[in-house]
């Protein structure tokens, strides 16, 4: 990401480097090296380190990744809601308060929501692995252990994504980016007692939602805790300040919310079945848990799309437009070439990752069984 700022976004880097350079440098210097140092020990050093040191390596890896997440979120939060800066004589922005940058209240709520999404991904992955072991009748005892941890954590984390983290993030958007809220909700006209749209298709030419199904007054209540509160629509804001791609933002937001609602339902049912002692014999629910594990990855991806599409047309909200930030000597063809190159590279790495994970899952069951047998002896 830092390299991309320098190559493709040179004007933006010159403009905002005095601010975002602080958090990006700290992420690379502290968090990245911490997590990269201990991931090897965690993955390959269990037998040499012993249980206590292996646990310590896992904890420090956790600290490194979550600290890395904080610095990245603090950088993005400043772009969403700039604080602690001043405009220098050359037109660039310079940092005036380090603590305002790293403790930006936008960053706090965005971090709560982002890392909650990471926990949901992990919980669904653990639950899916446990369901696989139970359904395949291989190391069922470990599968049940994975299911207990994954379902309990997944249920808590899925609800966390709705409230308080999602609720607080939504209120931040309503306060500081009301045009983004209008685009996310497909609200074209300002309304007292605005409805919450469940489904519908935005028609940008006619400035309306087609085939809309909505809950009356609910958007006003969720946003302002009053059924008759006024919610500003897109048409109240200048056209040039509208998000660049309103339909894509609208659909990304509704996919994210729809998947989040599905996660709450799946994990709540699974938690109830676990409490009643029915889960491990409910094959239909085990299949749902096993097959749904890719969906949190999709939800996190469209969630980030909402954050970045919603900030448009600004790179730094209210201060610096996206159209002014790109490198003037880098052509569109060069950007497309590097994009395709990185996409190809990550496709290969993803396929390799899937192959290694599948092999690890297959072999890991046998290793777990050997470890349990050794403990029993």
pLDDT in tens, 247-281: 999 999 999 999 999 999 999 999 999 999 999 99
Question: How much is the pLDDT for 33?
Answer: 80
Of 25 and 1, the structure prediction assigns the larger pLDDT to 25
Helix or strand (DSSP H, E) at 192: strand 191-192
If you average pLDDT over residues 115-137, what whole number do you get?
Answer: 95
The C-alpha torsion from 238 through 244 and 250 to 255, rounded to 10°, is -160
- Give the residue from 64, 82, 79 showing the smallest Cα distance to 28: 64
- DSSP alpha helices (H): ranges in 136-245? 140-162, 165-176, 178-185, 218-224
- Asked whether 188 and 211 are in contact (CB, 8 A), the reply is no
How does residue 373 score in pLDDT terms, banded at 50, 70 and 90? low
pLDDT tens digits along 152-187: 999 999 999 999 999 999 999 999 999 999 999 999
If you average pLDDT over residues 72-81, what whole number do you get?
Answer: 95
Tell me the two tokens of residue 262.
Answer: 């599905």
Residue 97: CB partners within 8 Å, gap ≥ 6? Answer: 83, 84
Residue 226: CB partners within 8 Å, gap ≥ 6? Answer: 220
pLDDT at residue 146 greater than cutoff 90: yes
Longest dimension (CA), the chain: 74
If you average pLDDT over residues 42-70, what whole number do you get?
Answer: 87
pLDDT tens digits along 215-236: 999 999 999 999 999 999 999 9
pLDDT at residue 104 greater than cutoff 80: yes
Other CB atoms within a 10 A radius of the CB of residue 291 amount to: 11
Strands 191-192 and 230-231: antiparallel
Of 336 and 122, the structure prediction assigns the larger pLDDT to 122
Question: How much is the pLDDT for 366?
Answer: 60
pLDDT tens digits along 276-317: 999 999 999 999 999 999 999 999 999 999 999 999 999 999
How does residue 364 score in pLDDT terms, banded at 50, 70 and 90? low
Tell me the two tokens of residue 342.
Answer: 């990185």
Of 22 and 364, the structure prediction assigns the larger pLDDT to 22
Model's pTM, two decimal places? 0.90
Other CB atoms within a 10 A radius of the CB of residue 134 amount to: 25
- Asked whether 213 and 195 are in contact (CB, 8 A), the reply is no
How does residue 334 score in pLDDT terms, banded at 50, 70 and 90? confident
Radius of gyration (C-alpha) of the chain in whole angstroms: 23
- Asked whether 259 and 298 are in contact (CB, 8 A), the reply is yes
Question: How much is the pLDDT for 371?
Answer: 52
Question: How much is the pLDDT for 257?
Answer: 96
Of the listed ranges 139-153, 306-320, 359-373, the least confidently predicted one is: 359-373
pLDDT at residue 327 greater than cutoff 90: no
Distances (CA, A) of 162 to 42, 113, 256, 335: 32, 9, 11, 37
Buried/exposed 249-281: b ≥16 CB within 10 Å, e otherwise: bbbbbbbbbebbeebbebbebbbebbeeeebbe
């Amino acid at each position: 990401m830092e390299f991309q700022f320098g190559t493709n976004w040179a004007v933006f880097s010159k403009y905002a480097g005095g601010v975002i350079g602080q958090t990006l440098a700290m992420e690379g210097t502290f968090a990245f090296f911490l997590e990269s140092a201990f991931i090897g020990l965690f993955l390959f050093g269990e037998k040499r380190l012993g249980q206590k040191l292996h646990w310590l390596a896992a904890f420090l890896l956790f600290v490194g990744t979550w600290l890395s997440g904080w610095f990245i979120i603090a950088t993005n939060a400043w772009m969403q809601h700039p604080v602690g800066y001043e405009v220098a004589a050359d037109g660039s922005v310079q940092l005036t308060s380090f603590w305002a940058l790293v403790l930006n209240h936008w960053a706090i709520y965005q971090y709560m929501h982002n890392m909650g999404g990471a926990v949901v991904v992990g919980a669904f992955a653990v639950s899916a692995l446990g369901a696989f072991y139970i359904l395949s009748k291989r190391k069922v005892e470990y599968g049940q252990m994975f299911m207990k941890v994954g379902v309990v954590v997944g249920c808590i984390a899925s609800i966390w994504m709705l409230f308080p983290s999602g609720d607080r993030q939504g209120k931040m958007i309503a306060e500081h980016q009301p045009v983004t809220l209008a685009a996310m909700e497909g609200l074209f006209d300002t309304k007292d007692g605005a409805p919450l749209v469940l489904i519908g298709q935005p028609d940008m030419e006619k400035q309306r939602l087609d085939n809309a199904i909505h809950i009356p007054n609910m958007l006003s209540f969720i946003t302002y805790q009053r059924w008759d509160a006024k919610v500003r629509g897109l048409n109240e804001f200048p056209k040039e300040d509208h998000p660049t791609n309103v339909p894509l933002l609208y659909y990304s937001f509704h996919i994210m919310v729809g998947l989040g609602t599905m996660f709450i339902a799946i994990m709540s049912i699974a938690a109830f079945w676990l409490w009643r002692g029915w889960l491990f014999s409910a094959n239909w629910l085990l299949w749902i848990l096993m097959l749904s594990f890719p969906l949190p990855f999709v939800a996190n991806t469209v969630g980030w799309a909402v954050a970045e599409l919603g900030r448009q047309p600004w790179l730094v909200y209210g201060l610096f437009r996206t159209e002014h930030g790109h490198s003037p000597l880098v052509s569109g063809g060069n950007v497309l070439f590097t994009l395709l190159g990185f996409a190809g590279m990550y496709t290969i790495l993803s396929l390799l990752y899937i192959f290694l994970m599948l092999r690890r899952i297959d072999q890991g069951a046998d290793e777990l069984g050997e470890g349990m047998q050794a403990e029993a002896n």
